[in-house]
Structure 1
């Protein structure tokens, strides 16, 4: 299987300084180009762009997924399990307040996965997940 192309995601933020601290500082995403109104980050090889648009930043609604209130509007990464565990530990050490604490959902089912949700300082929801068997990502 070939390597998938990187995705590009633009999203609103209320503060570029807060976005830089969160994505660059806490998550360790290298900063790319920027202007007075936006900044892009290398999100594990993908380009995400924080656009200063406070009027568009809003909390996401939620749906029940395996007993968790999952923010509907979210983005994130599927990481190898050791990277997911290291990130969960780093976020906990930093005192991160999780929307959904790191845990395993869909236990014993084909889609069993480790997951965690958190908000950036501007209210954007992120999910980081991992599979014990990465080949189960799309398992039914």
Structure 2
């Protein structure tokens, strides 16, 4: 499967804390930047954090139930290779990351079985990282 890189710009109300989170916690390489924004290589995609006052979704999180968990909405993230997901889950756990939803296997034994985890950046933007042992299940019903 060949996928074009996405570009996503998100609001952050604490640019320094978000820069540390994406750069140091995730190890994302920094690209261009200014005093108001920073580009990151986010697993091969372009993520830009823009300084912006706190948004309603950052202030009052909404959730929807999925597989017995309250999934934060909105959220974004990346589908990783299984081994990369496991390595990221280990890295984040070793750094005492506070998860919204701890790493686990969702839809176990069902169509679309996947590894997933949810966490918040310092500005309350929700992130999900997932992996499939069979990437053909990505859109399976």
TM-score (norm 2): 0.94
Distance 1:124 1:59, change over 3 A: farther
| Secondary structure at the counterpart of residue 22 of structure 1 | helix
Q: Tell me the equivalent position of 1:120.
A: 121
Distance 1:49 1:58, change over 3 A: farther
Tell me if 1:86 matches 2:87.
yes
Q: Tell me the equivalent position of 2:43.
A: 44
CA distance in 2, matches of 1:40, 1:59: 26
The number of aligned residues is 139
Structure 1 alignment gaps of length 5 or more: none
State the Cα deviation string for residues 85-123 of structure 1 (Å, max 9, x = none): 010000000000000000001111111101000000110
CA distance in 2, matches of 1:125, 1:58: 12
Q: Tell me the equivalent position of 1:71.
A: 72
Q: Tell me the equivalent position of 2:138.
A: 137
Task: Report the aligned-residue RMSD.
Answer: 1.1
Q: Tell me the equivalent position of 2:30.
A: 31
| Secondary structure at the counterpart of residue 54 of structure 1 | coil
Structure 2 alignment gaps of length 5 or more: none
Displacement after TM superposition at 1:45 (Å): 1.2
Displacement after TM superposition at 1:9 (Å): 0.5
CA distance in 2, matches of 1:44, 1:90: 15
Q: Tell me the equivalent position of 1:107.
A: 108
